[in-house]
C-alpha cells in the first residue's frame, strides 16, 4: 500500500530529525573524546542527512505540484458552483415562463372554445335587429339633447324604479319595500 504525500513527508522529516539528533550526539562524543561504538561518525551521519535532504527536496517539489493541482481543483469547484447557480436561476426563470405560457394557453383554449360555440350557434338576423332596436335608446343621447329637457322617445341607460317593480324579480321578492 502506497503512503500518502503527507505520510511520506512526515516519515522523512522524522528520519531527518533523528539523523540531526544523532549528528549532534556524535559531535558531542567527539568533543568529549569518548568513543561509543554504536554511533556512526559525524561524516557518515552528514552523508545520510544529505541523502535525506535530496529525498526531502523531491517531496517538497511533489508537494508544490500537489498544491498547484489543489488550487486548480478549488478554482474548478468555484466555477462549478457559479455555473450551478446560473443554471438554477435559469431553471427558475424557465418555470416562471412555463407557468405564464400555460396560463396563456388556457386562456386561448377558452377563447377558442367560445369561438367554436359562437360559430356553431346560428343567430337569427331578425332577432339581432330586434335586439339592436331595443337597446338603441340607451346607447347614447339623442342629437341636440339638453339634460334639462327630459328623455323624449329615448330610455335612460338603466332601468327606472317603476320598471324594476314591474319586473319578474321584484314579484318573487317577498318582503321588498
Of the candidates 46, 49, 61, the one whose C-alpha atom is nearest the C-alpha of residue 8 is 61
Q: Is the pLDDT reported for residue 30 higher than 90?
A: no
pLDDT, position 5: 83
Q: Is the pLDDT reported for residue 157 higher than 70?
A: no
Torsion-angle region of 33 (φ positive above 0: left; ψ -120 to 50: alpha; else: beta): left
Tell me, what DSSP letter sits at residue 149?
S
Q: Quick one: cell of 18?
A: 533523528
Tell me, what DSSP letter sits at residue 122?
-
Element (H, E) at 69: helix 42-120
Strand, coil or helix: 9: helix
CA dist 14 and 20 (Å) reads 10
pLDDT tens across 1-20, in order?
Answer: 578 888 988 998 999 999 99
Q: Is the pLDDT reported for residue 106 higher than 90?
A: yes
Q: Quick one: cell of 151?
A: 328623455
What pTM does this model have? Answer: 0.46
Of the candidates 144, 139, 143, the one whose C-alpha atom is nearest the C-alpha of residue 156 is 139
DSSP 77-95: HHHHHHHHHHHHHHHHHHH
Kindly indicate the confidence band of residue 98, based on its pLDDT and cuts at 50, 70 and 90: very high
Q: Quick one: cell of 122?
A: 346560428
Burial of 78 (0-12, 13-18, 19+ CB in 10 A): exposed
Summarize the confidence of residues 31-36 as an average pLDDT.
Answer: 66
Summarize the confidence of residues 79-84 as an average pLDDT.
Answer: 97
pLDDT, position 141: 63
Q: Quick one: cell of 66?
A: 500537489
Q: Hey, how many other C-beta atoms are within 10 angstroms of the C-beta on 45? A: 20
Q: Hey, how many other C-beta atoms are within 10 angstroms of the C-beta on 16? A: 16
Amino acid at each position: 500500500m502506497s503512503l500518502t504525500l503527507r505520510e511520506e513527508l512526515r516519515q522523512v522529516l522524522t528520519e531527518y530529525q533523528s539523523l540531526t539528533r544523532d549528528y549532534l550526539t556524535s559531535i558531542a562524543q567527539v568533543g568529549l573524546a569518548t568513543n561509543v561504538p554504536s554511533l556512526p561518525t559525524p561524516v557518515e551521519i552528514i552523508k545520510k542527512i544529505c541523502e535525506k535532504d535530496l529525498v526531502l527536496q523531491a517531496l517538497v517539489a511533489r508537494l508544490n505540484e500537489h498544491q498547484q493541482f489543489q488550487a486548480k481543483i478549488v478554482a474548478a469547484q468555484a466555477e462549478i458552483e457559479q455555473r450551478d447557480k446560473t443554471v438554477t436561476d435559469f431553471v427558475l426563470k424557465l418555470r416562471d415562463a412555463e407557468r405564464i405560457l400555460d396560463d396563456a394557453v388556457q386562456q386561448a383554449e377558452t377563447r377558442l372554445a367560445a369561438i367554436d360555440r359562437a360559430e356553431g350557434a346560428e343567430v337569427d338576423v331578425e332577432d339581432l335587429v330586434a335586439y339592436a332596436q331595443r337597446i338603441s335608446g340607451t346607447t347614447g343621447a339623442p342629437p341636440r339633447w339638453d339634460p334639462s329637457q327630459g328623455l323624449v322617445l329615448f330610455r335612460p341607460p338603466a332601468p327606472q324604479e317603476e320598471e324594476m317593480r314591474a319586473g319578474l324579480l321584484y314579484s318573487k321578492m317577498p318582503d321588498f319595500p
